[in-house]
Amino acid sequence: MEKNTQFVGQSFAFLDAVEQAGRAAELNRPILVIGERGTGKELVAERLHRLSPRWGEPLIVMNCAALPETLIEAELFGHEQGAFTGATKARPGRFEEADGGTLFLDELGTLSMAAQERLLRVIEYGEVTRIGASRPVTVDVRIVAATNEDLPAAADAGRFRPDLLDRLSFEVITLPPLRAREGDVAVLADHFGRRMAAELNWPQWPGFAAATQAELEGYGWPGNVRELRNVVERAVYRWDEPARPISRLTFDPFASPWKPRPMMPRTDVAPCDAPVAAAAAPSAAHADVSDLRAAVDAHEAAIIRAALDRFRYNQRATAKGLGLTYDQLRHCMKKHGLSAG
């Protein structure tokens, strides 16, 4: 999580969410923060902690999507020495590290059902049992969780425990996407632009040209504030005339005439079902077939039959002439019911 961060914006939708977070911060209850990627869920979690009575205690962050499922429970709840392969010494989990403070669980929707069950027990009883331990440890932790998923829909689909959702949803703060924050694009672009210009030691901030500002306002921002920051900072960094307003933007940094093409699947051997063009054969266009597969099979059988006839049913010579291995030719012959001569 970034330090020395601040909220920037003036739209009513954004300010309402910030105010809601400020009011919820004072209560010792779990909070869910919902929003698209790049909307500032981490900032809200930090605000909830800094404005709470726990502000002097640890704020521990865990991205639930950053770890494989086999390690998530060990990270959350800790483990004893020898609890599993590689556990050479005992280790406290994130809950114990956050004792007295706040635990921020990002990407909550990726938790496995087993981890959800253990998390539910911690919330209900305030007890954590390390993996491999026989006795629980009491912890005092406030949970702030964030996700970009529709958790009620996930619960209906059986991918998220409804009882855990009930425990976590005392207050739900839903952050508006940037496209819904009227007037905030200009404010944020100016903020990020000025900061980048200062980092580059520009003598002054020239701002954006009118047409460029219109481009920023008209873009959809699927990546929200994080994407806007990247676009603005990239534009400032690439601009070589600090005395003139910036008039060039790059929304997609991957756009290039030399962009690599998708790799085609590699086949080290030619499959029998692929059309073989190494030998001429009579056309199968007149074959009485009803679909594409039948037409391909008929054409392939005609090619193999013609090649066998050409090489006088010498199967090894036929396979070589068709660019196949001997076993591939035998498989094709069997598939199409062709005799050995």
| Per-residue pLDDT at 1 | 43
Beta strands in 70-114 (DSSP E): 102-106
| Per-residue pLDDT at 277 | 45
How far apart are the C-alpha atoms of 106 and 65, rounded to whole Å?
A: 8
Tens of pLDDT, residue by residue over 290-335, are 577 787 888 888 888 888 888 878 888 888 888 888 888 888 888 8
Is 8 buried (19+), middle (13-18) or exposed (0-12) by CB count in 10 A?
middle
| Per-residue pLDDT at 252 | 93
Identify the DSSP state of 131.
Answer: B
The whole model's pTM is what? 0.71
Q: Would you call 94 helix, strand, or coil by DSSP? A: helix
Is 329 buried (19+), middle (13-18) or exposed (0-12) by CB count in 10 A?
buried
CATH number of the structural domain 179-238: 1.10.8.60
- Domain ranges (residues) in the chain: 12-82+90-176, 179-238, 269-341
Q: Closest by alpha carbon to 181, among 154, 217, 156, 145? A: 217
CATH number of the structural domain 269-341: 1.10.10
Architecture of domain 12-82+90-176: 3-Layer(aba) Sandwich (3.40)
| Per-residue pLDDT at 264 | 62
Q: For residues 184 and 140, is the Cβ–Cβ distance under 8 A?
A: no
- CB 110: neighbour CB atoms within 10 A? 18
The 10 Å CB-count burial string (b at 16+, else e) for 94-105 is: bbbbbbebbbbb
Q: For residues 146 and 41, is the Cβ–Cβ distance under 8 A?
A: yes
Identify the DSSP state of 208.
Answer: B
Is 339 buried (19+), middle (13-18) or exposed (0-12) by CB count in 10 A?
exposed
Q: Would you call 147 helix, strand, or coil by DSSP? A: strand
| Per-residue pLDDT at 17 | 95
Tens of pLDDT, residue by residue over 118-146, are 899 899 989 998 888 888 899 999 999 99
Residues of the chain below pLDDT 50:
1-4, 274-287, 289
